[in-house]
Amino acid sequence: MKYEWIDKYLLGKPGVTKDLQQEWNWIRYKIGEKMFAAICLDDSDKPYFITLKLEPLEGEFWRQQYEDILSGYYMNKTHWNSVKADGEVPDDILREMLDKSYELILGSFSKKKQKEITGNE
């Protein structure tokens, strides 16, 4: 996979945990029980997609900019987007997309819960 930095980057965010959903062979990154990103693995455990959630118009924008960004693989095509793990999306663009996915899911929690997760009082 081209984006070797993803695991360390995502786990460095407040409140993020990861697990392996064996049925799908996905490494999921979650805040609480809510997934905001996943690395989809093939039968050889090689990453082939990085899936993340964005606002619909933003996801559509990025899909138009890069052929390596597709509608969400096995996910709701309106909200989820998949980036080819060996694609040509620049690191800074993928990092921005992952940040926005994290913020989108974090924002779905109550203000009180957000403060607990981030440690901001």
| Whether the predicted pLDDT of 27 surpasses 80 | yes
26-60 burial code (b ≥16 CB/10 A, e <16): bbbbbbeeebbbbbbbeeeeebbbbbbbbeeeebe
pTM, rounded to two decimals = 0.93
Mean pLDDT of all residues belonging to the chain = 93
Give percent of the chain above pLDDT 70: 98
Extents of the domains making up the chain? 6-114
Give the range with max mean pLDDT: 72-76, 78-82, 116-120. 78-82
- Give pLDDT, residue 121: 64
- Mean pLDDT across 86-106: 96
Top CATH class of 6-114 equals alpha beta
